[in-house]
């Protein structure tokens, strides 16, 4: 089972350069990229919820679930692999 990642409120799949992005959970948890004519491949491992990918496919913003550390809002540069914690303006996020 996979969840198609959307980058707008109309639930259209996130698409960039003819690639689709989706999220999985469980044993193969992560963010995956699918390009026509090739097998899908995982670009980020881990448990993420409410993922959003920018239309250019460069940034992932999501709530990352880390065992024994809880949840944190992150942004990840998908080109460099760098991940940054996002400090919400309020004490919580949803």
Q: What is the pLDDT of residue 13?
A: 59
Residue 16, judged by CB atoms within 10 A of its CB (0-12, 13-18, 19+), counts as middle
| More reliable by pLDDT, 8 or 91 | 91
Q: What is the pLDDT of residue 84?
A: 93
CA 94 remoteness from chain centre: 16
Domain boundaries, position 67: 3-85
**Is residue 93 assigned to a domain?**
no
In angstroms, the CA 57 to CA 53 distance is: 6
In angstroms, the CA 64 to CA 62 distance is: 6
**Is residue 62 assigned to a domain?**
yes
**Is residue 94 assigned to a domain?**
no
Percent of the chain with pLDDT over 70: 74
**Is residue 90 assigned to a domain?**
no
């Amino acid at each position: 089972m996979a969840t198609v990642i959307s980058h707008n409120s109309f639930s259209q799949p996130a698409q960039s350069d003819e690639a689709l992005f989706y999220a999985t959970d469980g044993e193969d948890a992560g963010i995956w990229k699918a390009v026509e004519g090739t097998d899908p491949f995982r670009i980020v491992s881990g448990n993420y919820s409410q993922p959003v990918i920018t239309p250019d496919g460069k940034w992932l913003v999501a709530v990352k679930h880390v065992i024994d550390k809880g949840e944190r809002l992150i942004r990840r540069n998908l080109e460099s692999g760098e991940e940054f914690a996002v400090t919400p303006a309020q004490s919580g996020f949803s």
